[in-house]
Amino acid sequence: MVAFVLFAAIVYLLPRSRINAEVDTDLHTLAAELRSAEVFTEPDGTVRLGIAADLDNLETAASFFMVVDTEGDISLRSQNMGTLPPDFGLLDENGLQGEETLNYVIQGDSTMRVLSSPLYDNKERLIGYLQVGRLVDSIESFNRFLVIALFVGFAGASASLFLAVLLTPSSFKPLEDMAAVTRQITNADDLSRRVPNTERTDEIGVLARSFNQLLERLERLFQTQQRLLADVSHELRTPLTAIRGNVDLMRRMGDADPESLEIIQEEIERMTRLVGDLLLLARADAGGLPLEKKKVELDNLLFEVYRQVRLLEKSVEVKVTEVDQVCMMGDVDRLKQLLLNLISNAIKYTPDGGTVDVSLSKKNGWAYLKISDTGMGIPAEDLPYIFDRFYRVDKARARAQSGQGGAGLGLAIAKWIAQAHGGNIDVTSQVGEGTTFTIILPVLVEPKPTPMDSTADELTKTRPGLRALGASFRRSSSS
């Protein structure tokens, strides 16, 4: 409003003062030309000017002049004033003041700007007045139009201000509701609540949906943290209880029991694995676990892991069904850990006599590592959570039934390794039929060989490691 008032004042006053200055300059110029003529007085007191004919020929112009004696009688006037009514008097009745004056005079429906200047004879006696006038009707019309336009603009600005004051509370009401819900969430520590107005399509609706997504993620992280603390406490309490019980038993017996020592050793190793896995995930979350990426031949790495899992004492047949030559940029140790985690997990939950099939293929720039087992399978309601930390599908299953109980961190670590290499892990499962994990990793794109190198590539296409394509094993615990 302040800016509008200042703008209106400038728009109104600046042109008006400029136009007035131009009109006054024209009036002074015309008066100076008229005063330059000879001034004399007739015996009857009439004042005369010896002016040229061209000065008196003001028939169509908007300027007028007249000579008035000291008594106010008109002695001479321009020819174009003959068109005015007979009772038209002085141009400015208030201009006979003995000094030069400039006034606006309203004559009927017209407005004039009149310059009144005293006339003196050779003896410097006041003998009359010269009045020069100019019609300014068009200027006044412009001024009136300008005033009306500014008034309309001022009214529009006032209405806008009124509407803004009227509508602002209702416009910001959704933000106030969101702030109130946020304060309630903060005070009650209830992250399950959500802010309203998510159905809106404007910026407030976008803000509400984004805020709810943030609350959902915070709630999930908070629940994960609580579950993590509870599971870590449980996982550590079990081996500590076993160690303490066996130590008390050996203290009462007064001798080291080999069976108790073996149990203590197993529990210590399990605690070590648990702490190591937790430390790895914590470093990964904090971004403090860098990957030493280099060129890796996945087919050779797969056979290396294959030879290693053959040492597991489990009567499960592991078969490598298909292998393509695949190279990628990755960390060898982490990729090996990824394969070991998934293959060991498949062997662990596959009953005796079952099979685990491993294959490696590539398509459209991606490598697909599949680990399929004929185990117990995973229920559909548990599939979305199997990569969560400390999540186990069969929570009631005793560790002795599976031979070697895990802490529920292996799949979480495998998921992180795959994503850290720009890939992912998909899983499909049918209860009672088995589970298939598919590791998807980006393939290293190498430049095409030159024609001279193509022959050498053909000669080295078959590598010794690929002879084990049909390899399989079956090893029972008795062997």
Give the model confidence (pLDDT) of 74-87 as tens digits.
877 777 776 666 56
pTM equals 0.46
Is 130 within 8 Å of 119 (Cβ atoms)? yes
For residues 374 and 388, give the distance between their C-alpha atoms in angstroms, rounded to a whole number.
23
Token pair for residue 73? 């009688």
For position 62, what pLDDT does the model report? 73
Sign, Cα dihedral of 167, 169, 173, 175: positive
Give the pLDDT of the chain (479 residues) as one tens digit per residue.
777 777 777 777 777 778 778 888 888 888 887 777 666 666 665 666 666 555 555 555 677 888 888 888 887 777 777 666 656 778 888 888 878 888 888 877 778 888 898 888 777 778 888 888 888 776 667 767 777 877 887 888 888 888 888 877 777 788 888 888 888 888 877 778 888 877 888 888 888 888 888 888 888 878 777 776 666 666 677 777 777 777 777 777 766 667 777 777 777 777 777 777 777 767 666 666 678 889 999 999 999 988 888 776 568 888 888 899 999 999 898 899 899 889 988 888 888 888 999 999 989 889 999 999 998 888 888 888 888 777 766 543 434 343 444 556 788 888 888 998 999 999 999 888 899 999 999 998 766 655 555 544 554 444 444 333 344 434 333 33
Q: Collect all residues with Cβ–Cβ distance below 8 Å to 166 and sequence separation of at least 6.
A: none
For residues 109 and 15, give the distance between their C-alpha atoms in angstroms, rounded to a whole number.
23
Is 352 within 8 Å of 449 (Cβ atoms)? no
Using alpha carbons, select from 310, 433, 442 the residue that is nearest to residue 372: 433
- Find the helix or strand (DSSP H, E) in which 10 lies: helix 2-35
What is the b/e burial string over 200-215, where b = at least 16 CB atoms within 10 angstroms of the residue's CB?
eeeebeebbbebbeeb
Q: Collect all residues with Cβ–Cβ distance below 8 Å to 276 and sequence separation of at least 6.
A: none
- What is the distance of C-alpha 204 from the center of its chain? 13
Residue 183: Cβ within 10 Å count: 10
Backbone angles phi, psi at 106, to 5 degrees: -100, 120
With vertex at residue 415, the alpha carbon angle to CA 410 and CA 416, rounded to the nearest 5 degrees, is 100
Using alpha carbons, select from 468, 434, 244 the residue that is nearest to residue 354: 434
Domains of the chain with bracketed CATH: 2-144 (3.30.450.20), 203-285 (1.10.287.130), 294-448+462-473 (3.30.565.10)
For position 471, what pLDDT does the model report? 40
Using alpha carbons, select from 322, 273, 301, 321 the residue that is nearest to residue 421: 301
Token pair for residue 114? 């009149």
For position 234, what pLDDT does the model report? 64
Is 315 within 8 Å of 475 (Cβ atoms)? yes
Using alpha carbons, select from 223, 215, 213 the residue that is nearest to residue 391: 223
Residue 451: Cβ within 10 Å count: 6
Q: Are strands 327-330 and 110-120 parallel, antiparallel or unpaired?
A: unpaired
Q: What is the DSSP letter of 447?
A: P
Per-position DSSP letters for 207-243, written without gaps between them: HHHHHHHHHHHHHHHHHHHHHHHHHHHHHHHHHHHHH
